[in-house]
Amino acid sequence: MHQTNKAIGVLGGTFDPIHFGHLRLALELYESLDLAKIHIIPCYQPVHRKLPVASPEQRLAMVECAIAKERALYADAREIHRGIPSYMIDTLLELRQEMPHTPLCLLLGIDAFLGFASWHRWQEILEYAHIVIAHRPQYQLPTTGLIADLVKKRLQHDITSIHNNLNGTIVVRPITSLEISATDIRKQIAIGRNPRYLLPDDVYNYIKQHGTYSISQV
Ligand code: ATP
């Protein structure tokens, strides 16, 4: 297949708030996969989990603060602007229409990938994108079941397949393991602890300014 465009990455999430675990995942995969850009896409409202504490606009603003100085990363507000809970398949369909000749790589932490078979129209996702699993040593891919079967069929060890094809392969890449979670950051802030060094200072300043995670909200 002939293609001219470099692959782009798509990192969806709640980002309540965005932290260095998310940012290292994005930057490390950007570099190791030689991606053109990574779209960081905060969801309006997650479909599979409880409601976020910060509003969609606040979570988007925190993503924008976090990546303002990083040209590799782009804050993509499409799901927030849609204003309804949306599924990743819809977002990928939209991106595919906008970029018909660009390979798309859906970036997932391995913890998120383990729940992949519960996603809306999950079997179709590989028709629109590749899946890149960011591996962290404390998690294992299953050896039996739907996810294991999918990985067996689609896993490639050579990353050239993500640049030579628009979609359809799964690759697993190691990333630096940072045990940071948004839930834990919110709890720390709510009890008055300092979350510095877990997330960018600009994001923490935004949280302080807006009182985003006060004890009554978390
Ligand atoms: P929470 O703690 O509330 O569950 P979270 O920190 O896991 O939130 P999400 O917005 O749900 O954040 O995650 C978005 C994506 O980032 C998912 O693919 C998830 O696997 C990945 N991710 C989250 N935390 C880390 C981390 N510390 N290291 C690498 N990837 C991460």
Within-domain flag for 184: no
**Which residue, judged by its Cα, is nearest atom 20 of ligand 1?**
109
Query: Rounded to 10 degrees, what is the CA torsion of 108, 112, 114, 115?
Result: -130
Residue 201 falls inside a structural domain: no
- Supply the range of the domain harboring residue 166: 8-178
Looking at residue 48, what is its pLDDT?
A: 73
pLDDT of residue 4 exceeding 70? no
Three-state secondary structure string covering 26-47:
HHHHHHHCCCCCEEEEECCCCC
CB atoms within 10 A of CB 7: 23
Distance 3 CA to ligand 1 centre (A): 32
Q: Cα of 109 to ligand 1 centre, how many Å?
A: 7
Does the beta carbon of 204 lie inside 6 Å of ligand 1?
no
Is 186 a domain residue? no
How big is the chain by its Cα radius of gyration, in Å? 17
| pLDDT tens for each residue of 91-105 | 999 999 999 999 999
96 domain-assigned: yes
Q: Would the pLDDT of 2 be above 90?
A: no
- Whether ligand 1 lies within 6 angstroms of the CB of 181 is answered as yes
- pLDDT band for 1, please (50, 70, 90 cuts): low
* Cβ 183 under 6 angstroms from ligand 1: yes
- CA angle centred on 30, ends 2 and 43, rounded to 5°: 100
Mean pLDDT rounded to a whole number for the chain: 94
Residue 217 has pLDDT above 70, yes or no: no
Residue 76 lies in a domain: yes
Tens-digit pLDDT profile for residues 148-190: 999 999 999 999 999 999 999 999 999 999 999 999 999 999 9
Asked if residue 19 belongs to a domain, the reply is yes
Q: What is the distance in A from the centroid of ligand 1 to the CA of 1?
A: 34
Q: Of the residues 15, 114, 181, 185, which should be mutated to test ligand 1's pocket, given the most ligand atoms within 8 Å of the CB? A: 181
Q: Is the CB of 182 under 6 A from ligand 1?
A: yes
CA 31 to chain centre: 16
Q: Is residue 124 domain-resident?
A: yes
CA of 173 to the centre of ligand 1 (A): 16
86 band by pLDDT with thresholds 50, 70 and 90: confident
CA distance 176 to 190: 27
Look at residue 49 in the predicted model and tell me its pLDDT.
Answer: 76
| 78 band by pLDDT with thresholds 50, 70 and 90 | very high
Residue 138 pLDDT level (bands cut at 50, 70, 90): confident
- Assigned domain for 193 exists: no
Per-residue pLDDT at 46 exceeds 90: no
Return the residue whose CA atom lies nearest to atom 28 of ligand 1: 21
| The pLDDT of residue 216 is above 90 | no
* Partners of 13 in beta bridges: 42
In the chain, the number of structural domains is 1
Task: Please check the confidence at residue 64 and state whether its pLDDT lies above 80.
Answer: yes
Determine the residue of 22, 43, 53 to mutate for testing ligand 1's pocket, defined as the one with the most ligand atoms within 8 A of the Cβ atom: 22
Instruction: Indicate the helix (H) or strand (E) that contains 196.
Output: none
Give the domain CATH number at 145.
Answer: 3.40.50.620
CA of 12 to the centre of ligand 1 (A): 9
